[in-house]
Chains A and B, each alone.
Chain A
């Protein structure tokens, strides 16, 4: 924790009260912000950006934002850190690829099929692994990812280890809009849910699951619902990714390094917030793209370093750290600590 003299300058230049007000405004105008972001996101192709490197990178940023935000529903909001989210991604990608290529089903219907497949998969394994907590849960989800990857590798219809090449895919701009729409819908859904009883219950499970049970909540039910929601959006992203990339194999569809990457994005942006994972995804993906071109081969080293710095320096991420800065002042101004008695008995003056 920094002392007063450390951040005195910061406090005078950017008073916490301003930051607090800014947060309050963002919260009251959340829907407007989401709408503006959606419109801004939809503009580049309208102004001629329909193909090429920049549009691919932007599409990937949307994609990673979907993945990080999905991870955060369970990992951040509910407090169950999963290392297996890419299993949903892979199942979405493969189901779509098989339906499009082998069953000649149209892309939009194939995506619907993929969504159903992923939801069923998540419901079944969620009821099992969500009984575990902490490390055990993390390891179990990693196990699922590796198991599904291995099964796919040995599945003839999935193309085995050599994967599937997909021809006649829609143009890139279709995927740009697909990822944008899924992202905006996901942001809207999560933003709304955080204001409902369902969202409160997820946070309660994160903070003290035993107490939540003692208050009458069947936590397995809510955790599974959150898990399925995360699976749905991750699966949707995956289902489009195969076509976007024109190729999938078990290594890319169930990419463990991506799983770490999307966790890092959520952590850096701020877990348990709506904006955090999106900001983290945009920021980290931009940096990774830059490093990949400027310092080829160093991106994983950078990713590792960035995770360490974040966890040590800003465990609450960008949004969490700023919010804390704003709230701390707020708390003292309202006399929270002064009124906060508590362990010490009051000294009486009558002798």
Chain B
């Protein structure tokens, strides 16, 4: 942000999309997340890495409101959302893809997408209207974008795991959140689909200016796609920097990456 001193941005928009301040979460005697600060700025792709049990998903859960942090604040576009209920935080512009991939299996693929679109809103009028043609057109567009256009009317639960993962991603493209949290997007999908996914995420970032914060264990993937990376170990933030800096950070190498 320091580089844009003479920009004409108003103060409100210079707030990071996401800022956590000293987030701490304890489960009994275990401190899963220990006073962690992260910032994600508009248009960035930020990675979150660390060994299993480092507290990555717990940090995500504190951001989304699934869990309430014991200490610290979560700010979304400058608003303190720490004590907001989960659905209200989501409504304020936070999207989330889950590690285990969660879509609505009993509904058609198209209904999954229509539901994700935020235009319908939560007011009574929006709830009781049928989705308009432009919205249906958008679902067709996105499904053909990820080569799943033949499956619009298929029950989402019948799709393969990889296809479901794509649908979950496309649902977020429908929703256009200010910030998208992705929990291990590369987990469990084959190499060729992974390449596609990288491409889709990049395009969303370049063209739709999607801001993404992602947990990932696939180092090639995260080093390739992220602008900046945070490293957690035992709940503490032990590193932050560009992929290059992280790869050369002695603490990170010792705690997680290891040596070649």
Enumerate chain A interface residues (CB-CB to B < 8 A). 193, 195-198, 200-201, 203-204, 206-208, 210-219, 272, 327, 330-331, 334-337, 339-346
Q: How far is the CA of A201 from the CA of B129 in the complex (A)?
A: 13
- Interface positions of B from 180 to 211, Cβ below 8 Å from A: 188-193
Contact of B162 (CB < 8 Å), options: A193, A196, A342: A342
| CB-defined contacts of A339 to chain B, threshold 8 Å | 147, 150, 163
9-residue interface stretch from B8-16, B106-114, B213-221: B106-114
Contact B192 A346 (CB under 8 A): yes
Q: How far is the CA of A334 from the CA of B149 in the complex (A)?
A: 10
| CB-defined contacts of A327 to chain B, threshold 8 Å | 154-155
Contact A345 B190 (CB under 8 A): yes
* Sample of 9 A–B contacts (CB below 8 Å): A197-B114, A208-B102, A210-B102, A215-B87, A331-B151, A337-B160, A339-B163, A340-B159, A341-B192
| CB-defined contacts of B115 to chain A, threshold 8 Å | 197, 200-201, 204, 215
9-residue interface stretch from B29-37, B45-53, B90-98: B90-98
**Given the known A-B contacts A208-B104, A346-B190, are A336 and B87 also in contact in the complex, defined by CB atoms under 8 Å?**
no
**Given the known A-B contacts A327-B155, A336-B159, are A213 and B86 also in contact in the complex, defined by CB atoms under 8 Å?**
yes
| CB-defined contacts of B103 to chain A, threshold 8 Å | 208, 211
Nearest CB on B from A226, distance (A): 12
Contact A216 B118 (CB under 8 A): yes
| CB-defined contacts of B85 to chain A, threshold 8 Å | 218
Q: How far is the CA of A288 from the CA of B190 in the complex (A)?
A: 54
**Given the known A-B contacts A342-B193, A346-B192, are A203 and B128 also in contact in the complex, defined by CB atoms under 8 Å?**
no
B145 at the interface (CB under 8 A from A): no
Contact B90 A340 (CB under 8 A): no
B225 at the interface (CB under 8 A from A): no
Contact of B131 (CB < 8 Å), options: A197, A208, A214: A197
14 new A-B contacts at CB < 8 Å, known A204-B104, A213-B90, A218-B88 = A196-B129, A204-B115, A207-B104, A208-B103, A216-B88, A218-B85, A218-B122, A272-B106, A331-B151, A334-B151, A336-B154, A340-B162, A341-B193, A343-B162
Q: How far is the CA of A195 from the CA of B158 in the complex (A)?
A: 21
**Given the known A-B contacts A217-B87, A342-B193, are A196 and B106 also in contact in the complex, defined by CB atoms under 8 Å?**
no
| CB-defined contacts of A203 to chain B, threshold 8 Å | 104, 106-107, 111
Q: How far is the CA of A197 from the CA of B131 in the complex (A)?
A: 7
Contact B104 A340 (CB under 8 A): no
Enumerate chain B interface residues (CB-CB to A < 8 A). 64, 66, 85-88, 90-91, 95-96, 98, 102-107, 111, 114-116, 118, 120, 122, 126-131, 147, 150-151, 153-155, 157-163, 171, 175, 188-193
Contact A198 B127 (CB under 8 A): yes
Contact A195 B130 (CB under 8 A): yes
Contact A214 B158 (CB under 8 A): no
Q: How far is the CA of A97 from the CA of B6 in the complex (A)?
A: 77
Contact of A214 (CB < 8 Å), options: B90, B162, B163: B90
| CB-defined contacts of B111 to chain A, threshold 8 Å | 200, 203
Contact of B64 (CB < 8 Å), options: A200, A214, A217, A345: A214
Contact A331 B118 (CB under 8 A): no
Nearest CB on B from A314, distance (A): 17
Closest B residue, CB atoms, query A211: B102
**Given the known A-B contacts A197-B120, A215-B90, A219-B87, are A206 and B106 also in contact in the complex, defined by CB atoms under 8 Å?**
yes
Q: How far is the CA of A197 from the CA of B87 in the complex (A)?
A: 16
Contact of A331 (CB < 8 Å), options: B91, B96, B154: B154
Contact of B87 (CB < 8 Å), options: A193, A196, A204, A213: A213
Q: How far is the CA of A155 from the CA of B111 in the complex (A)?
A: 48
Closest B residue, CB atoms, query A272: B106
| CB-defined contacts of A206 to chain B, threshold 8 Å | 106
Contact A342 B160 (CB under 8 A): yes
In the A-B complex, the 6 residue pairs with the smallest Cβ-Cβ separation, listed nearest first, are: A342-B162, A340-B160, A216-B90, A342-B160, A216-B91, A207-B104
Contact A342 B163 (CB under 8 A): yes
| CB-defined contacts of A344 to chain B, threshold 8 Å | 190
| CB-defined contacts of B87 to chain A, threshold 8 Å | 213-219
Closest A residue, CB atoms, query B189: A342
Q: How far is the CA of A326 from the CA of B147 in the complex (A)?
A: 23
**Given the known A-B contacts A207-B107, A336-B154, A341-B162, are A198 and B128 also in contact in the complex, defined by CB atoms under 8 Å?**
yes
Q: How far is the CA of A217 from the CA of B111 in the complex (A)?
A: 15
Nearest CB on A from B56, distance (A): 17
Nearest CB on B from A152, distance (A): 34
| CB-defined contacts of A201 to chain B, threshold 8 Å | 115, 127
Contact A340 B163 (CB under 8 A): yes
Nearest CB on B from A74, distance (A): 15
Contact B160 A197 (CB under 8 A): no
| CB-defined contacts of A336 to chain B, threshold 8 Å | 150-151, 154, 158-159
Q: How far is the CA of A247 from the CA of B86 in the complex (A)?
A: 49
| CB-defined contacts of B86 to chain A, threshold 8 Å | 213-214
Q: Quick one: which of A193, A207, A214, A344 has the most chain B CB within 10 A?
A: A214
**Given the known A-B contacts A207-B105, A341-B162, are A215 and B116 also in contact in the complex, defined by CB atoms under 8 Å?**
yes
| CB-defined contacts of A212 to chain B, threshold 8 Å | 104
Contact A214 B150 (CB under 8 A): no
Contact A200 B102 (CB under 8 A): no
| CB-defined contacts of B157 to chain A, threshold 8 Å | 207
Nearest CB on A from B112, distance (A): 8
Nearest CB on B from A228, distance (A): 14
| CB-defined contacts of B96 to chain A, threshold 8 Å | 214
Q: How far is the CA of A217 from the CA of B163 in the complex (A)?
A: 24
